Amino acid sequence: MITMRPLDFLEKNRVLITGGTGSLGKKLTRIILDHTATTVVVIYSRDEYKQFEMELSFTPAQRQRLRFFLGDVRDGDRLRRALDGVRFIIHASALKQVPAAEYNPFEFVKTNILGAQNVIDAAIDSDVTHVVALSTDKAANPINLYGATKLCSDKLFVSGNSYSGRRPTRFSVVRYGNVVGSRGSVIPFFLARRREGVLPITDPRMTRFWITLEQGAALVLNALQDMKGGELWVPKIPSMRITDLARVIGPECQTPVVGIRPGEKLHEVMIPVDDGRQTIEFNTHFIIRPAFPWWGENWHMEKGGRPCPDGFYYGSDNNTDWLDDARLARMIADLDLPEAQAWAKERGI
């Protein structure tokens, strides 16, 4: 179980969050402002209205420690300006809708790949020390363009450590899968459709990991604190079967099988088998080591890690931690969604 640790390491420092107005960016900003006294958070994104709304959601005292930069990650000069005095970057901006990527592929290349390289170059030029970039399960053995652009981004950040030379900048990557309860994801969809008595199932064999936004944010902050540079962090989280989820949410509902959608996988993959050889296991997470000779064999041993067995692979189908009906019901009831609260109340949870 990933938990938040004290954020003392961020005191008296500036943290820039690209995509700071997105769901992860807003959650991270709130955590950082709530758990530090002096840290300044710089938001870097394109839409002024999202920034305006975000600013209003903080207290006047917290707003003193917030800066809003309008900017595009495609614009390296603007990034350099925003990075003045910044020591930590969390790179969370991305285009991420799978169908939109298929229809507008080069827009995804520009934001997710060229934007990543701009962040890397600007971070090195500005003597930023720690950069954590967000990845996704879709980047592991990608089958759609969104995943392919995020895989390129991951590789750029890992290799960024070679670019930084004698500069202090280090880059690491955090990877996780769909955040439960996020817009367009299966839980809000089932909670809305249960009243019609039908919960469409794409494939009865389908499995998914369960990660909350809070856990994702905690992993990012832990990585920012502990990173060596070049490694890719993957949380240990439970899995669920889609058929179990449907039964728990709407036991009285019909569950017609409608078929898997284009660009969708049967199981979420976080660590493909070919990365398993490079993977180190810790109590709460895995780390995929880079193949750099300088990275060293002993770092993970000193931190309490152990190499994974030959043939290791981490997907939502071969997990050792599965959510049974009782845990699923408890975790749905804990979601910060009005429909989930209504569902839990009806069931007396």
Ligand X SMILES: NC(=O)c1ccc[n+]([C@@H]2O[C@H](COP(=O)([O-])OP(=O)(O)OC[C@H]3O[C@@H](n4cnc5c(N)ncnc54)[C@H](OP(=O)(O)O)[C@@H]3O)[C@@H](O)[C@H]2O)c1
Catalytic positions? 138
Q: For ligand X, which is the closer residue by CB, 95 or 109?
A: 95
Give the C-alpha separation, 139 to 116, whole Å. 14
Give the C-alpha separation, 61 to 72, whole Å. 28
- Interface residue with ligand X, options 21, 118, 222, 319 (CB under 6 A): 21
Q: For ligand X, which is the closer residue by CB, 201 or 213?
A: 213
Cβ burial, residue 105 (10 Å; 0-12/13-18/19+) = middle
User: Is residue 228 involved in binding ligand X (CB under 6 A)?
Assistant: no
In the complex, minimum distance from the CB of residue 79 to ligand X, in angstroms, rounded to a whole number: 9
CA distances from 231 to 140, 148, 172, 254, 279 (A): 15, 19, 5, 44, 10
Contact 67/30 with Cβ under 8 angstroms? no
Give the C-alpha separation, 42 to 57, whole Å. 15
* Amino acid letter, 323: L
Contact 242/202 with Cβ under 8 angstroms? yes
**Quick one: how far is CA 116 from the chain centroid?**
15
In the complex, minimum distance from the CB of residue 314 to ligand X, in angstroms, rounded to a whole number: 15
CA distances from 116 to 109, 122, 155, 158, 168 (A): 10, 10, 10, 11, 18
User: Is residue 243 involved in binding ligand X (CB under 6 A)?
Assistant: no
Site string for ligand X, 194-223 (x = CB under 6 A): ------------------------------
- Interface residue with ligand X, options 73, 116, 152, 173 (CB under 6 A): 73
All residues at 6 or more sequence positions from 114 whose CB lies less than 8 Å from its CB, including other chains: 74
User: Is residue 96 involved in binding ligand X (CB under 6 A)?
Assistant: yes
In the complex, minimum distance from the CB of residue 233 to ligand X, in angstroms, rounded to a whole number: 12
User: Is residue 72 involved in binding ligand X (CB under 6 A)?
Assistant: yes
Q: For ligand X, which is the closer residue by CB, 201 or 211?
A: 211
User: Is residue 25 involved in binding ligand X (CB under 6 A)?
Assistant: yes
Beta strand segments in 95-238, E = 130-136, 170-176, 207-209, 232-235
In the complex, minimum distance from the CB of residue 43 to ligand X, in angstroms, rounded to a whole number: 8
* Amino acid letter, 295: W
The helix (run of H) or strand (run of E) holding residue 281 is strand 279-281
Site string for ligand X, 143-172 (x = CB under 6 A): -------x----------------------
- Interface residue with ligand X, options 2, 10, 15, 19 (CB under 6 A): 19
- Interface residue with ligand X, options 66, 89, 123, 134 (CB under 6 A): 134
Q: Which of residues 28-57 bind ligand X (CB under 6 A)?
A: 45-47, 50
- Interface residue with ligand X, options 89, 90, 92, 119 (CB under 6 A): 92
In the complex, minimum distance from the CB of residue 338 to ligand X, in angstroms, rounded to a whole number: 19
Q: What are the φ and ψ backbone dihedral angles of 130, each rounded to 5 degrees?
A: -130, 130
Which of 31-39, 90-98, 254-262, 337-345 is the region at the interface with ligand X (rule: CB under 6 A)?
A: 90-98
- Which DSSP category does 63 fall into? H
- Interface residue with ligand X, options 22, 76, 188, 250 (CB under 6 A): 22
Q: What are the φ and ψ backbone dihedral angles of 208, each rounded to 5 degrees?
A: -145, 155
Q: For ligand X, which is the closer residue by CB, 111 or 305?
A: 111
Applying CB under 6 A, the residues found at the interface with ligand X are 18-19, 21-25, 45-47, 50, 72-74, 92-96, 111, 115, 134, 136, 150, 176-179, 182
